[in-house]
Amino acid sequence: MTGLEEFWLHSNSFSGPLPDFSGFCLLKQGVPCDPRVHTLLSIAASFGYPVNFAENWKGNNPCDGSWLGISCDDDGNITVINFQKMGLNGAISPEFGKLAALQRLLLSDNNLTGTIPSSLTSLAFLKELDVSDNSLVGKVPTFSKNVLLKTQGNQNIGKDSPIPSSTSGDAPLSENASGLAGSSPSSDIQVVEAGNMVISIQVLRNVTNNFSVENIIGRGGFGTVYRGDLHDGTKIAVKRMEGGVVGSKGLNEFKSEIAVLTKVRHRNLVSLLGYCLDGGERLLVYEYMPQGTLSRHLFDWKEEGLKPLEWKKRLAIALDVARGVEYLHSLAHQSFIHRDLKPLNILLGDDMNAKVADFGLVRLADGKGCAAETKLAGTFGYLAPEYAAIGRVTTKADVFSFGVILMEMITGRKALDESLPEESVHLVTWFRRMQIANKDASFLKNVVDPSAIDAGDEESLAGITAVADLAGHCCNRDPGQRPDMGHAVNVLSTLTELWKPSDPDTEESYGIDLGTSLPQALKRWQAFDDRVGGGTSSFLAGIDSTYTSIPTRRPEFAESFTSLDGR
């Protein structure tokens, strides 16, 4: 982007020093970057774009003597790369293999993980490769006898796997300082034993085309979500934590999401398929939800060329969300508080069925539906008043957030919209004011999203009135006056009495055939329960065994995650 003049990043939660993006290439219009620059930037990407590279690599000529760690011959060929003791994280990039004149590659005394790329064996002039004192694993490729190879200080180098991993869900666990089970004390690779949920970083690189920009399907406060394509056409979603949040806070959120999703299973909660912890990498693998977020369909449908959600579909989505949250609060083996309910964390499938996602902020509730909390977390606009004021979080905080979502679905407006006049910025305040001031039919005319209903649709208008009342109750300032999610499910269910499952399989699994006798129905339910499984497994240390969230998978799908090439 040679014409870029402004780069706005406000209203985010970035941390760390700001790299200088102005130094690369310095091109005239239409003149491409030097191929050597492209290669070096690809290499930097595998290390997470270190700040010292961004600060010291300038211009379009890496051989001008100013590029940190780069040395060249008189013909402008890169011959030596010296990245020793730079505190680098990540993996050794295969892109090093494109530097045909490279003679010495020095990467010792860093925090590098993964394997030595076989592409390095194609470097005809390579004389020295020093990767000592890192955390590399796997077999060492065969180099020419003329290459001085230094690999000492990598305890698991030369081994197929640094950690023996049991495929049994009830394998005994050991706990290390990080609180994760099964981690090798000498490696940055950590394992949380959860059946066969551990997935290698190389597999995830393969299925996401090396985390290609073209595969990005979403971004959040804690990372980027990529689409992954398995060899059989199955799609997955891979959530990759950003390097800046892989501290204690980011790791806690990562562990929390694994802990919750391995303890709950519900058709309206997104399913966790696996995870990866490798050096500085933290990745979670989910089922793929092709229609993306509810936010996309509520607020960005015009820009993305989508059809607006009709009211009946919004109602069905609201019911799905209510059922998922009700399960978290009161129907699972333990009670959980989500703490970050919002349209961005509600995902939609092909038939627009909704599932609640992003469990990084979930807290375990006590018998009274409360959780001790000292630090505020969540998203402004959706935070319950008592939580924002005194840090007290209960299941009623989720009820408040759900009420805000209902208001957004009715109005088509965001919880906070600073483009509006000051008195209308905060949706809940504006919505309540409109409810009080307009107690007749004019209320609906003033607040309802016109794209949701057709003119004269009296049936939908009657339903919207009931949902508006429910939203107002959910957003009551007094948490004691808010209903529980079971009440919300009951209200929404009565408004969707014509709802039917979208396919026969769903009807067979979850529906009730009123023409079937009770003994026959009981046999069907038992058969279904046996089919999906109800076993227990041990996962994070200190967490009791309960139902796993891993859905039953085809054998070839499981194998896709255990082969290094993703096949």
* Residues forming the active site: 340
CA distances from 422 to 388, 417, 418, 419, 446 (A): 20, 9, 7, 9, 18
CA separation for the pair 20, 18 (Å, rounded): 7
Q: In whole angstroms, how far apart are CA 377 and each of 339, 346, 386, 392, 538?
A: 7, 18, 13, 11, 28
DSSP code of 176?
Answer: -
SS3 content of the chain, % helix, strand, coil (to 5): 35, 15, 50
Contact (Cβ atoms closer than 8 angstroms) between residue 523 and residue 513: no
Q: How is 34-85 classified by DSSP, letter by letter?
A: PHHHHHHHHHHHHTT--HHHHHH--BS-TTSS-STTEEE-TTS-EEEEE-TT
The reply, when asked if residue 145 is annotated as ligand binding, is: no
| Longest pairwise C-alpha distance within the chain | 88
Of 342, 462, 354, 466, the C-alpha closest to 405 is 342
Residue in 337, 366, 364, 333 with CA at minimum distance from that of residue 546: 333
First to last CA, the chain: 36
Residue 217: phi and psi, rounded to 5, are -120, -5
Q: Tell me which residue of 253, 280, 271 sits closest to 188, measured CA to CA.
A: 280
Residues in Cβ contact with 2 at an 8 Å cutoff, skipping those fewer than 6 apart: 25, 27, 29
Burial of 3 (0-12, 13-18, 19+ CB in 10 A): exposed
Structure tokens at 431: 């919505």
Amino acid at 60: N
Binding positions for ATP are: 239
Binding positions are: 239
